[in-house]
């Protein structure tokens, strides 16, 4: 598709009626869904699963990109943390050790949206971390969020096993 259309940067601001959804068609081939979620307490488990799996695939892809740039694990993690920050996702610190794999995120864009929630809300980031660390160990890993900005914690914290 890139050969057909070339590169593009598209910025869109939308306003949809309360409780509705819409879509934005890009180049006649792709639709980006727009959903009114303002004021919703919860998006539901389907939403959470979708964000986790999208994040997981992005974590795998990110690992491949970063690993292609550097040769050792410490530089791979350092570059991924910088990439994470420059993508506007927050500040990430990953700790890989024999005691377990952990990650902390400060200023999480995702969890800031859900401040005041009674649940952990970092589904997309949780998926990204699971995909990235699964790629490091070449086996399926799962990320569990144990602290969350949305619940009032100072940062989000994940255990990846």
Q: What 8-state DSSP symbol labels residue 107?
A: S
Judge contact between 145 and 155, C-beta under 8 A. no
Alpha-carbon distance of 74 to 45, in angstroms, equals 35
pLDDT (tens, 9 = 90+) of the chain, 161 residues, equals 456 657 777 777 777 676 566 667 666 666 666 655 555 454 456 778 888 989 999 999 999 999 989 989 999 999 999 999 999 999 999 999 888 999 999 999 999 998 998 989 999 999 999 999 999 999 999 999 999 999 999 999 999 99
pLDDT score, position 29: 64
pLDDT computed for residue 35 by the predictor: 59
Give the separation between CA 145 and CA 149, rounded to whole angstroms. 11
Give me the pLDDT at residue 42, please: 47
Q: Check residue 84 and give its pLDDT.
A: 95
Q: What 3-state class would DSSP assign to 159?
A: strand
């Amino acid at each position: 598709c890139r050969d057909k259309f070339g590169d593009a940067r598209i910025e869109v601001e939308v306003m949809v009626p309360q409780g509705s959804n819409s879509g934005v068609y890009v180049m006649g081939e792709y639709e980006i869904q727009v959903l009114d979620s303002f004021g919703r307490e919860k998006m539901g488990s389907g939403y959470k699963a979708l964000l986790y799996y999208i994040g997981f695939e992005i974590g795998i892809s990110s690992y491949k990109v970063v690993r292609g740039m550097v040769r050792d694990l410490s530089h791979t993690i350092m570059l991924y943390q910088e990439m994470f920050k420059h993508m506007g996702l927050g500040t990430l610190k990953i700790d890989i050790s024999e005691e377990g794999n952990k990650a902390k995120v400060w200023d999480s864009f995702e969890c800031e949206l859900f401040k005041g929630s009674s649940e952990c809300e970092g589904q997309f980031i949780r998926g990204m971390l699971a995909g990235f660390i699964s790629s490091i160990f070449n086996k399926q890993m799962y990320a569990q969020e144990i602290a969350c900005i949305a619940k009032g914690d100072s940062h989000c914290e994940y255990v990846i096993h």
